[in-house]
Structure 1
């Protein structure tokens, strides 16, 4: 199983565990993120259900091990953890729309070997 197959299965499993709780818009925003990551050659994330009907996303990779996203119907909460605290900000997002440059800069760098 590839890393992208694993990530898709994690996403589908979240929805399957709580099918009536996830709004279609929340699922669409998560699909937008996955499409962006895969299209731009970025690494596949880990995905698990949030406390609210949201998706939690992170990576076990150097440089982004302190990054976590929480995906909702209208926004993505972006968390960067440090030794004592964390920074958080919201990326407003409507399904199908572009992401901000600030959001793109937070994500793991593309793997140039995947883009060739």
Structure 2
């Protein structure tokens, strides 16, 4: 289930609403990590599509990048050529800085 693009101030509330509708038990750290992504990305990045992941996770999507927010990491899915899937993990603990690689891939959203 994916919601349309929402404004950054509404992303966390929309993610929690979708999680409540799904009914799965979400680890609170998922929403804490989502808050960290919002704090980092909202100043320079357009607001994303907000959806639910396969697991009890939250997805943020742009045309050139998707993120899946877990309790202990962010899965990063940069745009790839057809037939190629690129994914990498950004280990993340709440309140810790993001890596240069994560910031670089997030900046791809601005280049579209």
Tell me the TM-score normalised to structure 1 length: 0.77
Q: 1:27 to 1:7 in 2, by over 3 A?
A: closer
Superposed CA RMSD in Å reads 2.1
Moved more, 45-54 or 14-23: 14-23
- CA deviation vs aligned residue, 1:14-72 (integer Å, no higher than 9, x gap): 2322466111111100111011112x32111111111210011111xxxxx13111110
Give 1:99's aligned residue: 98
**Residue ranges of structure 1 left out of the alignment (5+ in a row):** 60-64, 111-116
Give 1 or 2 for the bigger CA radius of gyration: 1
Name the SS of the counterpart of 2:38 in structure 1.
Answer: helix
For the 8 Å contact 1:66–1:82, the answer to whether it is kept is no
**Residue ranges of structure 2 left out of the alignment (5+ in a row):** 1-5
Give 1:12 shift. 2.8
Name the SS of the counterpart of 2:74 in structure 1.
Answer: strand
Give 1:23's aligned residue: 27
Count of aligned residue pairs for this structure pair: 103
Matched, 1:42 2:42: no
Tell me the TM-score normalised to structure 2 length: 0.79
Moved more, 4-13 or 45-54: 4-13
